[in-house]
Amino acid sequence: MDGIITVFVCEDSLDGIFTGVYDAWDSRLGHKNVRLEICQEEELELFCQYRPVETDREKAEKVFRTIERRMGEGAITHICQAAASADGRKADAIYRMVVLGLSLERGSEVVNCLTYGPVSTVMDLSQKAWHEAHKLMGFLRFSELQSGVLYGPVRPVHQVLSFLAPYFADRLRHENWLIHDVGREEMAVHRADMGWILVRDEALDAERLKWVSEKEARFQELWKCFHKTIAVEERINRSLQRQMLSLRFRSFMPEFADDGGRRT
């Protein structure tokens, strides 16, 4: 039927979006007649028919390999980073960028097509997601639990666990640790001298996460004392501090724990 847009509704994950790209392309409905959306509780639009996308790892891997081969490492990196964004526009923007990239003689040039809206959107979302991940690489605080596991809670805007995990797996390779996205109820779990995996935390015991080791408790008190002692009251610049360390990053930092993360 003319004028009807088919909306492919996919899971909010890299595999989900890539499966949506595969299904939308394979539908042969024409690129202008399809749209990708993340599964959200929103009102349905008129003149649209909705198709749920069942995440398929095999389809997602095919799309990943095609993008990497035809569009290059730069494009796949930006697309993966954009897929981690919390912005609902990401799925369709990624689809449009893939369509354009595969139509170019040199697919790698797609990252330079910034006058094309979807490419501009993908590059912008990629930068925002990576920027947050980069900040958390410095702001994340681990606490040693009584079990000896290092526990690092975060509440990021974007889905950045897959960026943080490789970074800390390299630097803390001999430790058992987990990074907990408390907002999404997901964790990156690393076993000493082995790899890391992403898991859901339904079985996580919240009370046990408060039981830090005796050594950890002492170090936290020393760190908070140091943080307070080095401050020069007359030179405190609260505006600059907030630019360098936004309030939203302070909730799980021991040096700000006594005042709800808002001390400057």
Q: What is the pLDDT of residue 262?
A: 40
What Rg value do the Cα atoms of the chain yield, rounded?
22
Instruction: Report whether 149 contacts 176 (CB < 8 A).
Output: yes
Please list, residue by residue across 218-233, b when 16 or more beta carbons sit within 10 angstroms of its beta carbon and e when fewer do: eebeeebeeeeeeeee
**For residue 43, is it left (φ>0), alpha (ψ between -120 and 50) or beta?**
beta
Q: What is the pLDDT of residues 124-178, one digit of tens each?
A: 999 999 999 999 999 999 999 998 999 999 999 999 999 999 999 999 999 999 9
Q: What is the pLDDT of residue 20?
A: 97
Bridge pairing between strands 150-154 and 177-181: parallel
Domain boundary assignment for the chain: 5-130, 146-212, 213-264
Helices (H), the chain: 14-26, 57-83, 90-103, 117-139, 161-171, 214-229, 238-244
For residue 184, count other CB atoms closer than 10 A to its CB.
Answer: 15
Q: Which residues of the chain have pLDDT under 70?
A: 1-2, 40-44, 46, 201-203, 258-264
Residues near 73 by beta carbon (within 8 Å), at least 6 away in sequence: none
Q: What is the pLDDT of residue 80?
A: 97
78: nearest Cα among 103, 38, 53, 108: 108
Mean pLDDT of the chain: 90
Q: What is the pLDDT of residue 125?
A: 98
